[in-house]
Amino acid sequence: MTTPAPIIDVLDVTFSYAGAARPALDGVSLSVAEGDFLGIIGPSGAGKSTLMYAMNGVIPHYHQGDFYGEVRLAGADTHETSLTDLSHTVATVFQDVDAQMVATAVEDEVLFGLENFGVPHGEIPARVDEALALVGIADLRERAIASLSGGQKQKVALAAVLALRPKVLVLDEPTGALDPASSRQVFSLLADLNERGGITVVVVEQKIGLLAEYARRLAVMDEGRLAYCGARREVLSAADDLLRIGVNVPRATTLSCMLRDEGFPVERLACNVDEAQELIEGIVA
């Protein structure tokens, strides 16, 4: 089986914000294959969001500081390529979606980016319809954004960037202000866009339980360094070290590791309650 080519290459990147005492990123290298779903985790201040900003070109173009190394996005050096040009490849949804909104109505929010990108007027209505349908909010197109719930606003933000048809979708804690049900809806939608739409997804998230269930790969940041990067179960198997770093490992995974360490036959770590139940039933059978 051929390994997909990297769409994001982070090559020995060190970055310090202006006036900072230590680097926010310290010699970080990782690759994201086209079509991957990568979750970036770590304690507060570990460098998660900074890594995301390096991936989408916000660093070094917007956030100033000392930048060393190289980031390539779909083959383009982010240091040498403008944010405008990079935005044709990568779209970003930030943690504060209210601050990202520029219009007062749902349809106008999706229209805004298309018009700014110079999409031919004849194509715009179909692109708007497509984006709203993708995230399941076609019935909200005429609603005022201020009247929407947090989960609905998150879907509007997703529709606005999906209308631009990016190859890469980057999200900074997209469920930070959402309840558990809305959080799961967002991750289910991201998984569908990744699996059926072929969009590469990179998510910075504190809710490790959702990433453990939906992401294919996990990158763990610790004090600006990349501590782990690999398949989710492989990374989560280092539960004790992740807890030391400050990552809240899912209870199902912690249970799996405890059973494994006690000598029970654990062929696959559980990432959620259903998998943990299946594991226990297999052991006691």
Percent of the chain surpassing pLDDT 90: 64
Q: Is 61 exposed, middle or buried (0-12, 13-18, 19+ CB in 10 A)?
A: middle
Residues 71 and 8: beta-carbon distance below 8 Å: yes
Q: Is it the case that residue 4 has pLDDT exceeding 80?
A: no
- Classify residue 198 as exposed, middle or buried by CB count within 10 Å of its CB (0-12, 13-18, 19+): exposed
Number of domains in the chain: 3
- 216 in the same domain as 143: no
Range of the domain at 260: 250-285
Last residue of a domain, one of 164, 193, 212: 164
* pLDDT-derived band at 100, boundaries 50, 70, 90: confident
Same domain, 65 and 170: yes
In a shared domain, residues 2 and 75:
yes
Residues 55 and 145 in one domain: no
Is 189 found in the same domain as 76?
A: yes
Q: Is residue 283 part of a domain?
A: yes
Last-in-domain residue among 146, 164, 182: 164
94 inside domain: no
Asked if 73 and 89 touch (Cβ cutoff 8 Å), the reply is: yes
Report if residue 95 sits inside a domain. no
pLDDT in the model for residue 59: 94
Model confidence at 5, in pLDDT bands (50, 70, 90)? confident
Task: Verify that 140 and 234 share a domain, yes or no.
Answer: no
Task: Looking at the structure, tell me whether residues 69 and 128 fall in a common domain.
Answer: no
Could you tell me if 29 and 52 lie in one domain? yes
User: Do 233 and 196 belong to one domain?
Assistant: yes
pLDDT tens per residue across span 199-221: 999 999 887 888 988 999 999 99
On whether both 231 and 176 belong to a single domain, the answer is yes
Confirm whether 38 is domain-assigned.
Answer: yes
In a domain, 62, yes or no: yes
Domain shared by 184 and 201, yes or no: yes
Is 217:36 a contact under the CB 8 Å cutoff?
yes
Q: Which residue, 200, 105, 209, is CA-closest to 160?
A: 105
Give the pLDDT of residue 51: 97
SS3 238: coil
Picking from 134, 164, 194, the residue at the C-terminal end of a domain is: 164
What is the layout of strands, in order, in the sheet containing 76-77? 25-33, 6-17, 65-73, 76-77
Model pLDDT for residues 166-186, shown as the tens digit of each residue: 999 999 988 877 888 888 888
pLDDT band for position 2 (50/70/90)? low
Q: Long-range contacts: 62-65, Cβ < 8 Å, 24+?
A: 63/17, 64/17, 64/18, 65/15, 65/16, 65/17, 65/18, 65/20, 65/24
CATH number for the domain including 37? 3.40.50.300
Q: Do 27 and 221 contact (CB within 8 A), yes or no?
A: no
In this structure, the answer to whether residues 130 and 184 fall within a common structural domain is no
Q: Could you read off the pLDDT of 104-159 as tens digits, one per residue? A: 999 999 999 999 898 999 999 999 999 999 889 999 999 999 999 988 998 999 99
- Is 225 domain-assigned? yes
pLDDT category, 274, cuts 50, 70, 90? confident
